[in-house]
Amino acid sequence: MSYKEEPGLDKQFNAEEIEKRCDAYWSANEIYKYDATQSRDNSFVIDTPPPTASGSLHIGHIFSYTQTDIIARYQRMQGKSVFYPIGWDDNGLPTERRVQNYYNIACNPKIPYDQTFKPVHIDNDKNERREISRKNFIEACETLIAEDEKIFENVFRRIGHSYDWNLTYSTISPTSIKISQASFLDLYQKGKVVAVEAPIMWDVTFKSAVSQAEVEDKEMEGFFHDIRFSVKDSNETFIIATTRPELLASCLAIVAHPDDERYKHLFGKTAIVPLFDIPVPIVPSEHAEKDKGTGIMMVCTFGDAADVTWWKKSGLPIKQIIGLDGKIMNITYGEGVFNTLNKEEAQKNFNQIIGLPAHIAKKKVAEMLKEQGFLIGEPKKIVHPVKFYEKGNLPLEFVSSRQWFVKLMDMKDEMLSAGRKIKWLPSYMQHRYETWTEGLNQDWCISRQRYFGVPFPVWYKVDANGNIDYSQVILPSKDRLPIDPMADAPNGYTEAQRNQPNGFVGDPDVMDTWATSSLTPQIAMAMAPKGSNLSLPFDIRPQAHDIIRTWAFYTIAKSLMHENTIPWHKTLISGFILDPDRKKMSKSKGNVVTPMNLIEAHSADAVRYWAAKAKLGVDTAFDEKMMQQGRKLIVKIYNASKFVFMIVGNSASADYAQNISAALDKSWLKKLADTVNSARRSFENYDYALALDSIETRFWDFCDNYVEIVKKRAYSEDNASAIATLKLSLDTFVKLFAPFCPFITEEVYQARPWKQPSDISVHKELWTSLDILQTVSAKDSLLYDTISAVSAEIRKQKTFENKSQKNPVLSLVVKAGEQAISCLKANDSDLINVGNIADHGITYQVAPELCVEKIMLDQNFVPEKKKVG
RNA sequence: GGGUGUGUAGCUCAGCUGGUUAGAGCGCUACGUUCACAUCGUAGAGGUCACAAGUUCAAGUCUUGUCACACCUACCA
């Protein structure tokens, strides 16, 4: 496919046309296709973050993903075969929630599959959510993510990200499920993943287990209740201050610090829990602090993580009173673990809270305590941090349940040393990884009681009595993956034996979404063409800093467990986009600017320019001014190119280097060569922002100075050197800017009169082709620097005297170092041209510093236009 | 409580391993230009480089301390 019908540049710059033209051309010619025949050494392999397919892309995505694209494009122009996949993270809770709202449906696994059901988008429906089967629900999820992903793709194409779209993956695809399930089987075999019945953090809204990484603290209002406990066979009482009175019924013990003089004498005695008359031991424990509350506290199952720790050591049974729905369970006193000294009274009181949600039960218990005289004074308001699931809106509960865990606690040291083998950019981001790893206090709970995710490839045997025997795990062979144990029967069984005595049941849970996301390198590799030389570690993992503890951490963990290596050599951590008021941008504020609007308003290259200006890891305030600046640069590139084309005219020869002979041209090219070197150095350090800075500065220098100086000579007969230099300069800038502004550079590249049939795309060009600058340029840029400086002084003087730039200069004195003077004397024709200086008008003097004096302008000069007026 | 980062012109930010009178863009003021330029140029106003002490011939840049903000992490009866 050819690039454009009409050759050359249009009179007017039209960003949208150029963007669409480029996208079509790149895709038709597979410019960004990964070349699987290249060796690993000659490849650059990227573990791209798959954005969550939950509606729309945020401007923050454009920001950080563009930074990666710039790096990918630079590496491609270094001759590397760039492995640059893109994926969609579409499994898990975010998708489920979006689907529920979008179609106003809810999943009920008990309902049978309805073949005729078609999900329809329903806006603002007040009706109750329609309940559908698990299979229908999953199909609805698949329908919506397909739509969302199309929109994402359009935005990424429009902004010019150079993904190889053949490598697109989705985390819910059969391939991803297969890889994720194979990972599970591998870890199971290695003893790294185990199912245990244990207290876990439970979100009551989503009715699912969550992991430590998904938990965040929220500052919550709470109340300290001072409750009087009595001591068995004694008149003594003591006061406990608690924020969780509803847990009284699950109290296991009373603890105080071993050295606490106030309570020492109570150790070994038995306390009586009010309302329920439960006898519990009073014991010393280090984890009680003397100066918190009243210094003495109750241990319940479970108020917090400390209770869990204490309970584990105690060997006491669990008294679970909060159910998985977050409500108080129906409990009969005097049965099982629920002992009491007064069965009737305990039951009467407990009956008052059965079925209530925990936060309402709390109030009810407080009332009862008050009525019966156990509450001292009024509850005291406090604000304290409470653990929440990051997406939940009710506090987490600790409940005991059977879940799958990946054993991480025994590999913390290994994780830390792996983290040190990876280069973190910026380096301080490694601290976050280290603190998180050091602070890890539980294994990774990977089972979720949800629907849209990767199922556990696990069945359990059902015994002769119809009871599930969790110790009898049935696993599929790897060649059966992907598998859904809720739909497929294990080998040796038939579907008819499901849920039957001596039959089997499938594990109904799905995996934590991170259990799959942590395999993005493996998933991406699965998308590569056959015969690829890919392997871990990859070169880079770009990602944002908020998911260091999840995505980065889990990917490193899985890579170590499966392949015994780090997953990538470097990780590039991007910053956030902040509101202009420096708050984290959020949709809820309603001030969201969508990426597409910005692209339309400023052009894709301009939006990219804004992203390219920010350094890695730095949170940046959103600023449209920066896009306007980018737009100016792009228009300038367009116009400068048009001008060069005009001067160059029909000189279509691409073999220009040998014509470069003028001293000024060589001196300018030295300047340009230095810029190439410094930009290359910056890029090698992944400092694309610094590279852009130096390129941009040199480009404006080119426009403002070199082009002005050489203009007259370029129009003259003796213009071969000037024309060759303009060509070489423009070719150079187009390549230098290509990673940042892929559209305008491609447009100019394709429009060059000296374009050769072998010139496919600027994005296939090599930076090594810029080495020609080194051979044709002068040893130094002294001549160019001097002429630029002198002409700037002349320009200044003309402006100061309100004269036209064409106004002749009768005479001036140039003072400069010996070398500069001799160099200038021999090559002053360009200076005379640009300043319009009279013959023999320049007086040269050797001086320590460059200085221009006594500029005499021709006061009789009248610009042409003013003659008319 | 522990830790990391940030604090430079009205705004958004550069300033790499310490080196001459601290920079850019935008904004503002004044003037000019319309030449490839949905422009550009020149000049001006505007900074005690958060604060304090120290090291050094020399500190925005290094050290220590203080303050403010952001974030990470822990605790959370």
pLDDT tens, position by position, A77-103:
999 999 999 999 988 888 888 899 899
Omega before A537 cis (within 30°)?
yes
Given this model, what pLDDT does residue A653 score? 75
**Are the C-beta atoms of A212 and A440 separated by less than 8 Å?**
yes
The listed range with the strongest mean pLDDT (A383-392, A467-476, A644-653) is A467-476
Query: Could you tell me the distance in Å between the CA of residue A714 and the C1' of nucleotide B35?
Result: 15
Low-confidence winner among A465-474, A686-695, A845-854 (lowest mean pLDDT): A845-854
Given this model, what pLDDT does residue A591 score? 56
Given this model, what pLDDT does residue A438 score? 94
Q: Let me know if A417 is exposed, middle or buried by CB neighbors in 10 A (0-12, 13-18, 19+).
A: exposed
Strand B nucleotides, any atom under 7 Å from protein beta carbons: they are 2-5, 11-15, 25-26, 31-43, 69-77
Average pLDDT for A599-614: 91
Which nt is closest to the CA of A793, judged by C1'?
A: B42
Q: What is the pLDDT of residues A93-148, one digit of tens each?
A: 888 888 998 999 999 988 999 999 999 998 776 788 899 998 899 899 999 999 99
DSSP assignment string, A3-43: S-SS-S--SS--HHHHHHHHHHHHHHTTTT---TTS-STTE
Distance CA A361, CA A351 (A): 11
Distance CA A513, CA A88 (A): 12
Query: Could you tell me the distance in Å between the CA of residue A578 and the C1' of nucleotide B69?
Result: 14
Q: Around A664, how many Cα atoms within 13 Å sit in the side-chain half-sphere?
A: 31
The token pair at A719 is 């213009």
Number of residues in chain A: 869
Query: Could you tell me the distance in Å between the CA of residue A381 and the C1' of nucleotide B1?
Result: 23
Which nt is closest to the CA of A296, judged by C1'?
A: B77
Which nt is closest to the CA of A240, judged by C1'?
A: B77
Would the pLDDT of A467 be above 70? yes
Would the pLDDT of A868 be above 60? no
Helix (H) or strand (E) holding A820: helix A818-826
Q: Let me know if A518 is exposed, middle or buried by CB neighbors in 10 A (0-12, 13-18, 19+).
A: buried
pLDDT band at A625, cuts 50/70/90?
Answer: confident
DSSP state, residue A49:
P
Distance CA A465, CA A483 (A): 27
Given this model, what pLDDT does residue A828 score? 86
Query: Could you tell me the distance in Å between the CA of residue A208 and the C1' of nucleotide B71?
Result: 29
Would the pLDDT of A229 be above 90? yes
Query: Could you tell me the distance in Å between the CA of residue A427 and the C1' of nucleotide B3?
Result: 15
| pTM (predicted TM-score) | 0.93
CA dihedral A672, A673, A677, A683 (to 10 degrees): 50
pLDDT band at A586, cuts 50/70/90?
Answer: low
Would the pLDDT of A765 be above 70? yes
Q: Around A403, how many Cα atoms within 13 Å sit in the side-chain half-sphere?
A: 27
Query: Could you tell me the distance in Å between the CA of residue A781 and the C1' of nucleotide B22?
Result: 26
Biggest distance spanned by C-alpha atoms of chain A: 119
Low-confidence winner among A68-77, A502-511, A649-658 (lowest mean pLDDT): A649-658
Which nt is closest to the CA of A382, judged by C1'?
A: B76
Query: Could you tell me the distance in Å between the CA of residue A135 and the C1' of nucleotide B68?
Result: 55
Which nt is closest to the CA of A689, judged by C1'?
A: B14
The token pair at A13 is 């710059």
Average pLDDT for A534-539: 95
Given this model, what pLDDT does residue A481 score? 92
Would the pLDDT of A154 be above 70? yes
Percentage with pLDDT > 90 across chain A: 63
Percentage with pLDDT > 70 across chain A: 97
Would the pLDDT of A867 be above 50? no
Given this model, what pLDDT does residue A582 score? 60
Would the pLDDT of A692 be above 70? yes
Which nt is closest to the CA of A243, judged by C1'?
A: B77
Given this model, what pLDDT does residue A587 score? 56
* Sign, Cα dihedral of A202, A206, A208, A211: negative
CA dihedral A139, A143, A144, A148 (to 10 degrees): 140
Residue A606 identity (one-letter amino acid): A
Distance CA A195, CA A409 (A): 15
Query: Could you tell me the distance in Å between the CA of residue A433 and the C1' of nucleotide B64?
Result: 28
Cβ-Cβ contacts under 8 Å for A682 (sequence gap 6 or more):
A688, A690, A691, A694
Query: Could you tell me the distance in Å between the CA of residue A431 and the C1' of nucleotide B54?
Result: 29
| Cβ atoms < 10 Å from Cβ of A664 | 28
| Cβ atoms < 10 Å from Cβ of A651 | 17
**Are the C-beta atoms of A734 and A762 separated by less than 8 Å?**
yes
Given this model, what pLDDT does residue A590 score? 54
Would the pLDDT of A866 be above 50? no
Is beta strand A193-203 parallel, antiparallel or unpaired with respect to A81-83? unpaired
pLDDT band at A434, cuts 50/70/90?
Answer: very high
Which nt is closest to the CA of A436, judged by C1'?
A: B73
**Are the C-beta atoms of A670 and A781 separated by less than 8 Å?**
yes
Distance CA A770, CA A673 (A): 8
Which nt is closest to the CA of A678, judged by C1'?
A: B16
Q: What is the pLDDT of residues A8-57, one digit of tens each?
A: 888 888 899 999 999 999 999 999 999 999 999 999 999 999 998 877 78
The token pair at A683 is 């890029």
pLDDT band at A666, cuts 50/70/90?
Answer: very high
Query: Could you tell me the distance in Å between the CA of residue A121 and the C1' of nucleotide B9?
Result: 52
Distance CA A576, CA A60 (A): 6
Would the pLDDT of A865 be above 70? no
Which nt is closest to the CA of A219, judged by C1'?
A: B76
pLDDT band at A744, cuts 50/70/90?
Answer: very high
The token pair at A269 is 């005695």
**Are the C-beta atoms of A577 and A610 separated by less than 8 Å?**
no
Which nt is closest to the CA of A295, judged by C1'?
A: B77
Which nt is closest to the CA of A799, judged by C1'?
A: B42
Query: Could you tell me the distance in Å between the CA of residue A500 and the C1' of nucleotide B26?
Result: 74
Given this model, what pLDDT does residue A383 score? 85
Complex ipTM value: 0.93
Which nt is closest to the CA of A614, judged by C1'?
A: B13
SS3 A271: strand
Would the pLDDT of A287 be above 80? yes
Query: Could you tell me the distance in Å between the CA of residue A436 and the C1' of nucleotide B52?
Result: 35
- In chain A the first and final C-alpha atoms are separated, in Å, by 53
pLDDT band at A410, cuts 50/70/90?
Answer: very high
CA dihedral A34, A38, A39, A41 (to 10 degrees): -70
Query: Could you tell me the distance in Å between the CA of residue A449 and the C1' of nucleotide B62?
Result: 55
Which nt is closest to the CA of A13, judged by C1'?
A: B38
Given this model, what pLDDT does residue A834 score? 85
Q: What is the pLDDT of residues A296-329, one digit of tens each?
A: 999 999 988 889 989 988 888 999 999 999 999 9
Query: Could you tell me the distance in Å between the CA of residue A303 and the C1' of nucleotide B65?
Result: 42
> Which residue from A696, A668, A552, A672 is spatially nearest to A612, judged by alpha carbons?
A696
Average pLDDT for A501-516: 96
Query: Could you tell me the distance in Å between the CA of residue A101 and the C1' of nucleotide B48?
Result: 57
Residue A831 identity (one-letter amino acid): L
> Which residue from A617, A565, A582, A246 is spatially nearest to A424, judged by alpha carbons?
A617
Which nt is closest to the CA of A222, judged by C1'?
A: B76
Which residue is nearest nucleotide B69, judged by alpha carbon to C1' distance? A582
pLDDT band at A869, cuts 50/70/90?
Answer: very low
Paired with A844 in beta bridges are A814
pLDDT band at A617, cuts 50/70/90?
Answer: confident
Which nt is closest to the CA of A863, judged by C1'?
A: B33
Omega before A426 cis (within 30°)?
yes
Query: Could you tell me the distance in Å between the CA of residue A571 and the C1' of nucleotide B17?
Result: 24
The token pair at A4 is 């454009």
Would the pLDDT of A588 be above 70? no
The alpha carbons of chain A give a radius of gyration, in whole angstroms, of 36
**Are the C-beta atoms of A538 and A567 separated by less than 8 Å?**
yes
Low-confidence winner among A37-46, A662-671, A844-853 (lowest mean pLDDT): A844-853
CA dihedral A162, A166, A167, A169 (to 10 degrees): 110
Query: Could you tell me the distance in Å between the CA of residue A221 and the C1' of nucleotide B70?
Result: 24
SS3 A263: coil
DSSP state, residue A135:
H
Omega before A284 cis (within 30°)?
no
Distance CA A376, CA A228 (A): 7
Query: Could you tell me the distance in Å between the CA of residue A351 and the C1' of nucleotide B51?
Result: 63
Q: Which residues of A45-71 are buried (b: 16+ CB within 10 A; e: fewer)?
A: bbbbbbbbbbbebbbbbbbbbbbbbbb
Query: Could you tell me the distance in Å between the CA of residue A793 and the C1' of nucleotide B44?
Result: 18
Average pLDDT, chain A: 90
Given this model, what pLDDT does residue A125 score? 67
**Are the C-beta atoms of A425 and A540 separated by less than 8 Å?**
no
